Structure 1
Amino acid sequence: MKPSVNAEAKRRAEAARSRSDAREPRKADSDSGSAASASAAAGGAKRLSVNPLKISQTIGGALALQGVYQAMPILHGAQGCAAFAKALMTRHFREPIALQTSALQEFNVIFGGEASLFEALDTIRAKHNPDVSAVLSTALTDVSGEDIRGELAAYRKKHELGGKLLACAMLPDFQGSLESGYARTVEALLDEVLTESNRPKKKLRGRVNLLPGAHLTPGDVMELKEIIASFGLEVIAIPDISTSLAGHLLTGHTPLSRGGVPLDLLKQASASEWTIAVGASMEGAARLLEDRADIPYRLFPGVTGLAATDEFFGFLQTIGSEPVSVKYRWQREFLLDAMLDAHFVFGGKTIALALEADHLHVLNSWFREMGASPELSVAAARPYPGGPLPAGTTVGDLGDLEEMAAAQGADLWLSNSHGEQSARRLGIPFLPCGFPVFDRFGAGLSLSVGYRGTTEFVNRTANRLLAGERRHPI
């Protein structure tokens, strides 16, 4: 028997529709929601985003660069683009964010932004001397057709970089999402360091490259590093946001990223024996390491859940020099017990999900493992670099998920903080997940990978489901 939270959600939706019908009709061109409804009623494609879910690719690129030590992302576009990105990331991580802009004006777009970009690079290099400078394009420069890569090639000829890295990632925000922007930026960094002159003569035994996807928190990355290291392996995380965005109190101030993988270690990634990619979006970067440095890779869609974590540990046993630690054997027992304790709370429940593609795949599999039905799911964008979405998934916005949940009912809503109002309107318990989470503390340290992380996620999710049942008793 379905909990009455579904009935309550349907009752609220019907009441809202009744109130809307009772009011005087409005013209479709005067209200965005009416326009969307009119388009849907006419059988056409949705022409607008009512409650956006997608996060700009440039924010994904800036996020990846926070995981590189002494790095400076430079958004080549209007000043407001960088200000918005920095504010959103600061609210989520509650940490200083390294970010600069070329601050283009209207005449720069018309006559070309090369002079503004060179001026920004000169100023940043003179004042801050970053080890890594990365230029990220925006919709403004992509639509105008500016040849940023050609401009940077000319800049390299005129200036001696002194061993520093200058990279470029094309990230128009009218394409893709945070996930693809993050992955493309990692690929751009590797493309710069994987040169013929940097190709190693031999591999370093026991060294592993870890490519963590954009859906992983700093706490998740730290947990994965500890797990891999427990097998006697040396880990290079690219990028490593666990040492930059997890939270630390350093003396002094620097406008550059305060943690992450150092440039010299990034250059040594080509000498690793294996690459482990977590998240399908990171396969492009893993394949780049395979093609340029002959490093085999293993792709894991996620490391959340019993089956996924068992697979991860099984692979590490084949490449590591140490057996599975007793600590992790106990953690697996704790997870099994937590799943047994909470299974009656998950069984048969309908879950509403609105996330990036990789995150959606991970949680879809995990909820099914727990006996729940993640039937209502919306992805921010198509998977990068390609591939299928979970069955029944819509590429859309939070408004689409609200309509689906109102029509079918749901027992739990998982999305970023922008979805909480929709969940409240429908009376559905809400669990913040993804990016951004700006109204909760500890988003950067939340854990959902490995046996320990999955146990914490089981309990966190089960408690939210129980709270919903107490509000709407059967």
Structure 2
Amino acid sequence: MAEIIHPGKPLAVNPLKVSQPVGASLAFLGLAATMPLEHGARGCASFNKLFFMRHFREPIALQTTAMDQVTTVIGADDNVVEALATICAKDTPAVIGLITTGLSETQGADIPRTIKAFRAAYPQYAAITVVPVNATDTQGCLETGFALAMEAIIATMVPAQPAKIRRPRQINVLASSMLTPGDVEHLKDWIEAFGLTAIVLPDLADSLDGHLIDEGYSTLTYGGTRAADIAALGESAATLVVGRSLGRAADLLRTRTGVPDHRFPGLMGLDECDAFTHVLARLSGRPVPERLERKRSQLLDAMVDCHFTLGGTRVAIAADPDLLAGMVRFCADMGMEVVGAVGAAKAPALAGLSVDRVVVGDLEDLEVMAKGAKAELIVTNSHGTDIAARLGVPLLRAGFPLYDIYGGPAQCWVGYDGSRHTLFQLANLLTTFHQEISPYRPAYWQGTPRDQENGATPC
């Protein structure tokens, strides 16, 4: 069991975590024809939208209630009602995700009462679903905000009724915030290889995979999980939950629908991939496809190829809890030594890690730990670039945001293919940054004539 340490610093020197409203908005960006609406100041939503646009390099659907100093003091209920009505009239979304921020939470916004006021004033928009999420900036991180939004989506859009398996070949998937659009796309292919159909909540692969649409531009999300599919989650044969952060959301879905679930902390590495594949084989009643067997053998070969480069390498990792835990397990399986682990927030996923201690802190804590333990590799988001440069070690970019590379969201980390690719990335980084060791020269060495011609001097 890892010891969880809180440094107790009065402020974040080099921030690691991203706020809960960003995570909640990200969950809604995986729903079809949806508009996330952040209840807070205009600058907060602008900052969050900039994060998304730099990371995904796509236009992002996101609106704000634009609270100012006056409405912060006397109340901003009218702002919420007006914003909801404007979005409904101009964009006609299927879903609006109403997300509080640190400002509106501090102000004491009563979101359920405000939604009732909106429904009473605008009954013509009764068909448009409004999902309220309380996600203050002062607590948690992107991962916890994402999980809160998932709970709210299930509570609002999934009918509470006894399970009735009308679609025996349909499988629900609750996808954690650690999964990229590339991961989700691979996950769907993985499930479909067994003749099953996946409803992924949220489906970022369908909305943020970088595709172009015939309309050219839409003010709403380009794709994602449809509202009708969310309502039909109770008709599926089973639910697959990826990421421990979605434990409460999974509990809620099982309570409301009775659909049995299977939970996985992650899908990186041989053991985790095998466990997921065996569950799919049992649910489908089919043997493992030959192409998956081949992918597994390719991963095994990659593990053999990279072992001598990765084994014993000292690595420091900083990320949200689910991703941090997955990367720690993956690196440990390859014989790497995790000398630093920093989580953006405290979470159950951190307790069982095979490291001595996990610091809940920022990137300054990562730099201190990496420097003290002489780490040879750092794994974190793009904010770790300067740290890696100061320490003279390579950086594997993972998590959110990734703003200084192209194709970060499209990268696949999970499955046999994703694990293999990650192994090659790690080995290539270490090989590229390998520092040559100067040859040993005894005191009596005078050099050869050729050495002297090339300017070499005796010791």
Confirm or deny a common fold (TM above 0.5).
Answer: yes
User: Per the alignment, in what secondary structure is the counterpart of residue 51 of structure 2?
Assistant: helix
Per-residue CA distance 1:223-259 (angstroms, 9 max, x = gap): 1111111112111000000011111111332110001
Q: How big is the shift at 1:442?
A: 0.5
Change (3 A) 1:472 1:80: farther
- State the partner residue of 1:239: 202
Q: Does 1:132 align with 2:95?
A: yes
Counterpart mapping for 1:211-360 below 5 A: 211-251=174-214, 252-360=216-324
Alignment partner of 1:468 is 2:433:
yes
2:339–2:375 Cα contact (<8 Å) kept: no
Q: 1:447 aligns with which of 399, 409, 412?
A: 412
Change (3 A) 1:471 1:65: farther
1:86 and 2:37 are equivalent in the alignment: no
Rounded to whole Å, the distance in 2 between the matches of 1:349 and 1:113 is: 54
Q: Is the 8 A contact 1:230 1:322 kept in 2?
A: no
Work out the CA distance in 2 between the residues paired with 1:374 and 1:406.
Answer: 13
Shift of 1:221: 0.5
Alignment partner, residue 371 of structure 2:
406
The question of whether the paired residues in 1 share the 8 Å contact of 2:84 and 2:118 is answered with: no
Instruction: Write the deviation string for residues 303-340 of structure 1: whole angstroms up to 9, x where unpaired.
Output: 10011101111111111133211111111111111100
Between 1:305-314 and 1:150-159, the stretch displaced more is: 150-159
- Residue aligned with 1:209, SS: strand
Q: List alignment gaps of at least 5 residues for structure 1.
A: 1-42
User: For residue 220 of structure 1, what is the amino acid of its counterpart?
Assistant: D
What pairs up with 1:7-406 in 2 under 5 angstroms?
Answer: 45-160=8-123, 161-196=125-160, 201-251=164-214, 252-383=216-347, 391=355, 392-406=357-371
Structure number with the higher helix fraction is 1
- The verdict on how the C-alpha distance between 1:185 and 1:254 changes in structure 2, with shifts beyond 3 A counting, is same
Q: Does the CA-based 8 Å contact 2:180-2:410 persist in structure 1?
A: yes
- CA–CA distance in 1 between the matches of 2:138 and 2:350? 17
Please give the alpha-carbon distance, in whole angstroms, between the structure 2 residues aligned to 1:275 and 1:218: 19
Greater gyration radius: 2
Amino acid at match of 2:406: F
Tell me the distance in 1 between the aligned counterparts of 2:164 and 2:21. Answer: 36
2-side partners of 1:214 and 1:417: how far apart? 17
Structure 2 portions without partners, runs of 5+: 1-5, 440-459
TM-score (norm 1): 0.88
- Aligned to 1:210, the other structure's residue is in SS state strand
C-alpha distance in 1, partners of 2:81/2:148? 23
Percent of paired sites with the same residue = 38
Alignment correspondent of 1:20: none
- Select between 387-396 and 134-143 the one with higher mean Cα deviation: 387-396
Letter of the structure 1 residue corresponding to residue 13 of structure 2: V
Task: Please identify, of 147-156 and 206-215, the stretch whose mean Cα deviation from structure 2 is larger.
Answer: 147-156
CA distance in 2, matches of 1:245, 1:317: 29
Amino acid at match of 1:109: T
Match of 1:432 in 2: 397
Is the CA contact (8 Å cut-off) linking 1:76 and 1:104 kept in structure 2?
A: yes
Q: In structure 1, what residue type is equivalent to 2:47? A: F
| 2:459 maps to 1:459 | no
**Secondary structure in 2 aligned to 1:121?**
helix
Amino acid of the structure 1 residue aligned with 2:385: E
- The CA deviation at 1:156 is 2.6
Q: CA deviation at 1:204?
A: 2.0
Kept after mapping to 1: 8 A contact 2:381/2:397: yes
> Aligned AA for 1:224?
L
CA distance in 2, matches of 1:180, 1:137: 14
1:162–1:366 Cα change, 3 Å: same
- Kindly state the Cα deviation for residue 186 of structure 1 after the two structures are TM-superposed: 1.1
